[in-house]
């Protein structure tokens, strides 16, 4: 009986392990440990979404690649501070001098997952070079379906920069970034 139970436990563990490998989650929060200082790094934020006649949702698993060969090779997954379906996003603060391109995201519609590889030719409006320390609002970019193919378009949402900053503010509570965010919010409100 005992042996049966043990076998059952092992089977359950194997099942859980195999299931957990199928489910990967998107990031919704930042690790505050070793957070770079606002004086030497850039905090990028904005909107990456999918706009349809039913409204706006978020692009999934957005991956930014560092493309400047003189800086560290690194991939950052966009963080969704409000929820994984809200288009507001930000990245971990990146080193000044690094350059970033959005090279991948995916979209789920019903049972279908579409993988988008954007290619490296040219700097698009949602790509950026971290030229100076502090905040960098990248704007609002929406994937829109055309007659034959999708395209990314700049479509400013009502809330704009202010709403995006309000959404990411709680993530930086108690860090040096809080004051920088508050300062910018004050400027936007005045």
Give the shortest CB-60-to-other proteins separation in angstroms: 15
Say which residue the tokens 């049966």 belong to.
Answer: 4
Closest residue by Cα to residue 153 from 124, 130, 182: 124
Give the shortest CB-118-to-other proteins separation in angstroms: 9
Long-range contacts of 27-31 (CB under 8 A, 24+ apart): 27/77, 27/78, 27/79, 27/80, 28/79, 28/80, 28/81, 28/83, 28/84, 29/79, 29/81, 29/171, 30/79, 30/90, 30/92, 30/171, 30/172, 31/92
Give the shortest CB-19-to-other proteins separation in angstroms: 23
Q: What share of the chain is helix, strand, coil (3-state, %, to 5)?
A: 25, 35, 40
Comparing CB distances to other proteins, the nearer of 119 and 146 is 119
Comparing CB distances to other proteins, the nearer of 16 and 120 is 120
- Chain centroid to Cα 100, Å, comes to 13
CA distance 43 to 166: 14
Comparing CB distances to other proteins, the nearer of 54 and 117 is 117
Q: Which two tokens stand for residue 53?
A: 């006649």
Q: Which residues bind other proteins (CB under 8 A)?
A: 63, 65, 67-69, 73, 75, 99, 101, 103-104, 117, 119-123, 127
Give the shortest CB-75-to-other proteins separation in angstroms: 7
Phi, psi angles (nearest 5°) of residue 184: -65, -40
Give the shortest CB-182-to-other proteins separation in angstroms: 33
Comparing CB distances to other proteins, the nearer of 55 and 122 is 122
Give the shortest CB-103-to-other proteins separation in angstroms: 5
Comparing CB distances to other proteins, the nearer of 100 and 172 is 100
Comparing CB distances to other proteins, the nearer of 19 and 121 is 121
């Amino acid at each position: 009986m005992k042996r049966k139970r043990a076998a059952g436990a092992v089977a359950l563990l194997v099942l859980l392990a195999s299931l957990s490998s199928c489910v990967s989650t998107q990031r919704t929060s930042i690790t505050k440990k070793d957070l770079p200082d606002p004086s030497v790094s850039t905090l990028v934020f904005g909107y990456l979404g999918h706009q349809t006649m039913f409204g706006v949702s978020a692009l999934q698993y957005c991956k930014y690649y560092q493309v400047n060969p003189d800086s560290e090779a690194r991939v950052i997954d966009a963080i969704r501070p409000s929820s994984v379906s809200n288009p507001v996003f930000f990245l971990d603060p990146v080193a000044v001098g690094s350059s970033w391109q959005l090279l991948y995201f995916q979209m789920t519609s019903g049972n279908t997952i579409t993988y988008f590889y954007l290619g490296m030719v040219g700097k698009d409006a949602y790509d950026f070079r971290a030229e100076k320390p502090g905040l960098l609002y990248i704007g609002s970019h929406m994937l829109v379906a055309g007659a034959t193919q999708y395209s990314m378009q700049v479509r400013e949402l009502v809330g704009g920069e202010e709403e995006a900053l309000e959404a990411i503010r709680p993530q930086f509570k108690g860090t040096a970034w809080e004051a920088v965010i508050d300062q910018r919010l004050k400027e936007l409100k005045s």
